[in-house]
Amino acid sequence: MHGQKFAVIGTGTIGAQVIWQLAKKGADVTGYELYSPGHSRGAAGGETRLFRHMEAEHVEYLPVIGRADAIWKELEKESGRTLRNLNGALMIGSEGSPSTENALAAADRLGSSAKVFTHKEAQKRFPQYALNDDEIAILDTSAGTIFPERTVRAAADAAVERGARIVRESRVGDIRQDGDKVSISVNNETAIYDRVIVAAGAWTSSLLPDMAQFLATRRLLSGWFLPAAGKTIDGILPYMRLDPNYSYGLPTADGLAMKLGVGFPHHLPVTSPDTAPMRISDVDLEPIRAVARDLFPNLDDYPMRAQAYFEAYTHSRREYMNFHPTMSNVFVCAGFSGKGFKNSPFFGELAADTVLGRNLSVPEAQFILDFEHVAKAPV
């Protein structure tokens, strides 16, 4: 590593964690950010994200979540900032569905920190939710709310404190590898690095056209809902509702409103966040309003506020963490939607250790690097 120079393109959800980890490990690293760390246009927008130990898709991620949790605590200590509020979260699912069975398997492995409630028990314990007759609930007592913009800024600031540089409000226009060096163009100048890590989120396909075949770029919406007249949402917990009725939600920090969101089928396909529509119509809002009507008897069904932001998915819904298909010194971090923010500290460590040639802190996580992603025409 001595004498090598590293660049991180994008200092958002993942990139801020990567540059912090590289700086911690003594690397000479520069980050490039289109806006400024903690901006609301990308995947870190929306004020809150869900941290959970429960896993409803791939139980093999449980060691990853455990390591991420430890690094979360480390970042909070180093930054001196509160980045999470871990007061518990619910996972709601239909009995017998594959995702619910996975969640129950995860709950079994988590032991006393996960509590399973029958439908009748859940409705008595959590009356704020109107569950379907076949739905049960699992309380993840160590889960809760992440404050995403604050987290990104904390990681970026911690990196700078350790000697990293972040070039703000700068657009990287081109990335090329020539021999064992990688050049990037930014602000009409060219900089040369030994390794480049691209963590550009929804801008990845625009920056690296070869990656478009692996990614689906989407515009997501969040809606914030106040209680109906005479009602309250006191004591309501963050939640995730599993397929086939997928949705998620978190109360605002002041407890006065509930943020709700829906899944991939309701996300607008876009080519790039730079050209995507930002106007939110009533038609756009209807899937989120349907969640408010269906699951929350105490909420008004029209949002007091709505926000659009952008994310990239892989076709498998598993993160792409590997070297670029044709540039061996460019490491790509993309497609984290669904697992990204809660595990972002670990993904930052994984990327840093990989480009530095170090052993993984969680050897079982090798499957993330080894996963073979399917290429498809952009949709």
- Spatial separation of the C-alpha atoms in residues 334 and 13, rounded to whole Å: 11
Domain spans, the chain: 5-45+149-212+316-370
Per-residue pLDDT, 187: 87
- Spatial separation of the C-alpha atoms in residues 279 and 362, rounded to whole Å: 43
pTM of the model: 0.96
Contact of 122 with 170, CB cutoff 8 Å: no
Per-residue pLDDT, 14: 97
Residues 6+ apart with CB under 8 A from 331: 195, 196, 197, 198, 321, 322, 323, 324, 351, 354, 355
Return the beta strands (E) in 64-205 as ranges. Answer: 84-85, 89-94, 114-117, 135-140, 144-146, 165-167, 172-178, 181-186, 189-193, 195-198
Architecture of 5-45+149-212+316-370 per CATH?
A: 3-Layer(bba) Sandwich (3.50)
Ranges of residues in the chain whose predicted pLDDT is under 70: 1-2, 338, 378-379
Per-residue pLDDT, 159: 98
**Smallest Cα–Cα separation from 43: which of 312, 344, 352?**
312
Per-residue pLDDT, 1: 56
- Spatial separation of the C-alpha atoms in residues 133 and 136, rounded to whole Å: 9
Per-residue pLDDT, 135: 98
Two structure tokens written together for 357: 């040639």
